[in-house]
Structures are given as structure tokens and as C-alpha cells.
Structure 1
Amino acid sequence: MSVQFNHTVVLASDKHTGAQFLADILGRPAPVPYGPFVTVALDNGVTLDYANHTDYDAPLTTTHLAFLVGEAEFDEILARVTERGIPYWADPMSSLPNQINTNDGGRGFYFLDPDGHHLEAITVPYGGWPRR
């Protein structure tokens, strides 16, 4: 079997709130409980498994999650972010507010979830699409 990314745990102050936020913004199906987690499934089989940080006796630290999306999905995600009044930036340093970038010939932007996780939507992977 090849090596594939399967899932990751995202620590949250409230796993239900965090998972629902992500599902809503990305236009994903409703999160599903699985053991101690609330999972958000992506189209490539990867799940983001939200857990309360207190269940892990761990501090709530933030992370960066980037989502490669199609052009139509990008427009829908950006519309959901702007409709909710969520601040967004063209850069990871948050110095270019209310803008998108055109890195690698695609489009991208950054925003924060309720716990301060840095989320990114991009239409072209870093470095561009591989040549065939």
C-alpha cells in the first residue's frame, strides 16, 4: 500500500462548534460523531477529527489547515466568509486584508476559525500543478 494521509485531530474549545464552522464554510456535509471526535470528511477521504482540547489535557494551540478547492468552490467559500463578516487576507501574515492572492496562477486567501486556527483556500497547489 502507498503512504496516504488519512486523518488529523484538530483540537478545539468546543469540538461541535469547530467542526460545524468548518463544514458550513467549506460546504461539506454535517459533521459526524465518531468515538470522542466530531469528524468533517473531505472529498479525498481525509477526515478532520475535532476534539475538545480539555479531553486531551492539552492547551488549545492553533494550526494551519489548507484546502485545495475548485474554482466554483473557491467562490462559494469566499462568499460564505464575506457573508458572515469573517475577516480574510491574501497573505498568511494578515497584512493584506479583504484581498485574495493569485499565487502560482491560482487564487487563495486565509481566514480564522472560532479558535484561531488559520484556514486557507487555494485553487492551485503551492508550486503550481505538476507538469505531465
Structure 2
Amino acid sequence: MTIQLNHTIVRARDKRASAAFLATILGLEVGADFGRFVPVAVANGVTLDYMTATDPQPQHYAFLVDDDEFDAAFARIREQGLDYYAEPGGDGHGEINTRWGGRGVYFDDPDGHAMEILTRVP
């Protein structure tokens, strides 16, 4: 068997609201509750399982997308008036990056998790 990432738990103050936030930005669906989790599945079968927590610690989640998906997600980021930036930690506020011949952008979710969409990896 090859080793694959199956799921990760994303701690959030409001699991449903945070799952809906990400799903809306990425153009995905929020899955049915699964026990204490609210899943958001991505194309490679990995799920982000949102769980309510009183004090979530910010993490980083990066999503590889194609150019059309980037354009659609980036448009939703701007439509919602979200702050976005080109570099981790907030550098390049209001900009995207063009590393590795692609495009990338960071934005924060309601719990302070640094979300990233990018079109190319090295």
C-alpha cells in the first residue's frame, strides 16, 4: 500500500461556519456531519475535518489548484473583501506571488488559519 494523507482535523470556534467559509472560497461542498466533525473533501480524496475547539491554534493549509480554479477562488476572496497577501506571515498585502511560474495567494480563515491557493509547486 502506498502512503497517502487521508484527512486532517481543523480546529475552529464554529466548525460549520469555518467549513462553509473554506468550501465557499474553493467552490466545494460541505459534507454531512460525521460524528463531531464537519468534512470538506478535496479532489484527491483528502478531507479537512472541522471540529469545534474553544481556542484553535492557527495552522497553514495549502491547496494546489488549476488556473481556472485559482481565478474563481481569487474572485471570491476579493468579492468577500478578504485581506490577501503574497507571502506567508502577511508580507505583500494585496498582492499575489508568481513563484515557480504560477500564481499563489494567502488569506486567513475566520480562526486565523493561513489558507493558500497556488497553481504550481517546484
Could you say what secondary structure the match of 2:22 adopts? helix
Counterparts of 1:95 and 1:36 in 2: how far apart (Å)? Answer: 35
Could you say what secondary structure the match of 1:11 adopts? strand
The answer to whether structure 1 residue 67 and structure 2 residue 63 are counterparts is yes
Percent of aligned pairs sharing the same letter:
49
For the 8 Å contact 2:10–2:51, the answer to whether it is kept is yes
| TM-score, structure 2 as length reference | 0.97
The answer to whether structure 1 residue 104 and structure 2 residue 95 are counterparts is no
| TM-score, structure 1 as length reference | 0.90
Based on CA coordinates, which of the two structures has the bigger radius of gyration? 1
RMSD: 0.9
Counterparts of 1:30 and 1:61 in 2: how far apart (Å)? Answer: 22
Q: What are the Cα deviations for residues 42-70 of structure 1, in whole angstroms up to 9, with x where unaligned? A: 0100000000014xxxx310100000000
Which consecutive unaligned segments of at least 5 residues does structure 2 have?
none
For the 8 Å contact 2:104–2:116, the answer to whether it is kept is yes
Give the CA deviation at 1:98: 1.1
1:116 to 109, 112, 116: 112
Structure 1 moving runs of 4+ over 4 Å: none
For the 8 Å contact 2:30–2:38, the answer to whether it is kept is no
Which consecutive unaligned segments of at least 5 residues does structure 1 have?
128-132
